[in-house]
Chain A
Amino acid sequence: MTVHFVHLLDDLRRRSLRMASQVEDMLEEAVEAAFQTNQALALRIVARDEEVDAEEVGVETEVIRLLALYQPVGRDLRLLATILKVNSDLERVADCVVNIAERARHLAVQELASQSEDLRALFRLTRQALRSAIQAYASENSDLARQVIHDDAAIDALYGQIVRQMVAVAPRQMPQIGGLLDLLSVAKNLERIADHATNIAEDVVFLATGAIVRHRRPEQ
């Protein structure tokens, strides 16, 4: 039965990676929609999110089934635990992406977004973090994962800077408060996506080494 189990585990892993790749694409499209006010794109993202939700339930069900029927141990067990947690993180990332896409409906973002270099920088860093985390997940590379965890601090700092900037600019640009808030929302969601990417990276470290590295303040 082990041969069968190995195939099932492999299929599940690939399924999880496909989902990750899908979520990555969604992020690209969402930010594009936000910066260029593409309504159609925004709607498509919402539709894809529904697929991601369904897939999340499917993957989780399969994980539980494999745990119950095959009682895996060792690396197989860690892999299933990791798939389960990454699964949940990916679904949350998709939700954040949908939030970003919905901001695309408001034109104001587009005007303000084109001004905000910091926001673009935040997007680049977040995309990089997510891409690296998924790459580490695919190759079970704990070094790459640790890099992602380390780089999260920079993303947090950048987000903090954006917030401070807005607070400073807001009193002068009161009429565009709606746009500013949308911008803030996009930034917030990007930062949250980066946090989820960090979670995924931590899970990869667990998968590769068996060590649980969550909730640690990295020494600066």
Chain B
Amino acid sequence: MVTVSRPVAATQTLNLASLVSARPETIIDQNSSPVIRTEDLTIRYGSFAAVRNVTLDILPKQVTAIIGPSGCGKSTFLRAINRMNDFVDGVNVSGRLMFLGQDVYAPGTDPVALRRRIGMVFQKPNPFPKSIFKNVAWGPQVNGYSGNLAELVEESLRKAGLWDEVKDKLDHSALTLSGGQQQRLCIARAIAMQPEVLLMDEPCSSLDPIATARVEDLIDELKSQYTVVLVTHNMQQAARVSDRTAFMLMGQLVEVDLTSRLFTTPHDPRTQDYITGRFG
């Protein structure tokens, strides 16, 4: 038996710390510049203020969860980011919302172009009543995608963890898929646009626990490439999946912190009461 010994370089030192902190969630750069920043954002439906003076930073390549009781404004806030609120009558937005340093609500901003870079996944899976292929390919097509569409569809479906299940039936209707598969298809559809940010509005609400677990695993993989903002009323999900968590109550941002800190030592007593289920 031949043993080969590798020479140890004289300058090589053993860094115990790097061996110990192998869990990715602890290696978060809290100093990177935010992808999305809101300053004093207030959103009104008529006279009712659904979001009040929210100042929040969304940091890149992380999952930021927004939790809070029903009606606290978290979905409204999320939809403001990609201007989906534009389709609701009587919506008034004040304050600033910046995406990569540009004001999203400035008069010259094109919401269609914005939505190409910020994708969205909805609470109830809403695939188009078309083929699986068409579902993923339509967005790129109408946006003038010049590359190989079939490759893009395959890549997106692979990233969404759906390729193996549908590769033989790409021309079948998307409505023949199960709920969990449909939701992953919607995620594939969103990431086919190669967005920078993925907004997810309670994506697992209508899924069974196994489908939920798969989507959560998927979110965990996606964060290496995309910035994810996740609205959820399931606190355990926020605890499992996110790196940072923001707690909203009655339209206001109560607290935002690293998930591990927020769920062990929250600062605000309202956060404490909410996460321990004392109300809401």
Contacts and interface: CB of A to CB of B under 8 A. Distances in A.
Q: Do chains A and B touch in the complex (CB under 8 A)?
A: yes
Interface of A: 2, 5-6, 71-78, 209-210
B139 interface: no
Given A71-B236, A73-B239, A210-B264, 9 more contacts: A2-B276, A2-B278, A73-B264, A73-B276, A74-B263, A74-B272, A74-B276, A78-B264, A210-B265
- 10 closest residue pairs by CB, A with B: A210-B265, A2-B277, A73-B263, A73-B275, A74-B275, A74-B276, A76-B276, A74-B272, A74-B266, A75-B272
A65 B264 CA distance: 19
Interface in B250-279: 263-266, 271-272, 275-278
Interface in B95-154: none
B265 A209 contact: yes
Nearest to A1: B277
Contacts of B236: 71
B235 interface: yes
Contacts of A71: 236
Contacts of A72: 276
A71 B266 CA distance: 16
Contacts of A210: 264-265
Contact of B265 (A2, A5, A6, A78): A78
Interface string B241-253: 0000000000000
Contacts of A77: 263-264
28 contacts: A2-B276, A2-B277, A2-B278, A5-B277, A71-B236, A72-B276, A73-B235, A73-B239, A73-B263, A73-B264, A73-B275, A73-B276, A74-B263, A74-B264, A74-B265, A74-B266, A74-B271, A74-B272, A74-B276, A75-B272, A75-B276, A76-B276, A77-B263, A77-B264, A78-B264, A78-B265, A209-B265, A210-B265
A82 to B, nearest CB: 12
Nearest to B235: A73
B93 to A, nearest CB: 33
Contacts of B239: 73
A210 B263 CA distance: 11
Contacts of A5: 277
A53 B271 CA distance: 37
Nearest to A206: B265
A75 B276 CA distance: 8
